Amino acid sequence: AQSVAQPEDQVNVAEGNPLTVKCTYSVSGNPYLFWYVQYPNRGLQFLLKYITGDNLVKGSYGFEAEFNKSQTSFHLKKPSALVSDSALYFCAVRDYGQNFVFGPGTRLSVLP
Amino acid sequence: NAGVTQTPKFQVLKTGQSMTLQCAQDMNHEYMSWYRQDPGMGLRLIHYSVGAGITDQGEVPNGYNVSRSTTEDFPLRLLSAAPSQTSVYFCASTQGGRLNDEQFFGPGTRLTVL
């Protein structure tokens, strides 16, 4: 069965510093990986997805994600954090049955 | 395009009452799903549908029913509400066909069962 782990419940970073939100996955077969962001009292918004062959994926709002097959990781990164990036971030994997499996979420706080 | 819409935004029920959460999408997406979001647990799949007339159970289906009579609509029914069903409910849709297609989410329904 597919699974996703986000080992940090909370990540704090100062504005202007680089940020990383971690995600590891377990799948049988090729991984179909996604990052979503949720702002307070809103639905989830798509940020980016892994495309086979590209180890560094660029997405919305300046975010990018680094795929590492040997470590089964898909960490979300941004070179310079903004206060407005503060939100709840979810990593997800899609299985061959077309269902999405979500991680528990990581709350990012960017401090001014 | 309105995307994925959900109604109502908020609902309070008493134990034992029934209700239907509405979900509609105008993107002609084949795949639709319902999730519940609880603190610290991420999103858990309740039911999903890969096309009109086809539905199946997800991870936490008990106490919920769905139907998919049209491509656009995917209502979720609570048959007899229980306090354990207090949660935020999200509907989502995907084009389908390609496993790297992303999901589009509605704004959510916050349900409280007393």
- Short-list B88, B110, B3, CA closest to B37: B88
Cβ-defined contact of A100 to B33 (cutoff 8 Å): yes
For tokens 């180890």, the residue is: A55
Question: For chain A, how many residues are written?
Answer: 112
Question: Is residue A61 helix, strand or coil?
Answer: helix
Nearest to A98 among B99, B104, B105 (CB): B99
The verdict on B89 touching A (C-beta cutoff 8 Å) is no
| Cα A98-A33-B68 angle, rounded to 5 deg | 25
pLDDT tens for each residue of B2-48? 899 999 999 999 999 999 999 999 999 999 999 999 987 889 999 99
pLDDT tens for each residue of B46-105? 999 999 999 999 999 999 999 999 999 999 999 999 999 999 999 999 987 777 788 999
Nearest to B43 among A32, A50, A102 (CB): A102
Amino acid letter, B103: Q
Contacts of A43 in chain B (CB under 8 A): 4, 90, 105-108
Alpha-carbon torsion (B7, B72, B100, A78), positive or negative: negative
Distance, in Å, from the CA atom of B63 to the CA atom of A109, rounded to the nearest integer, reads 36
Closest residue in B to A4 (Cα) is: B42
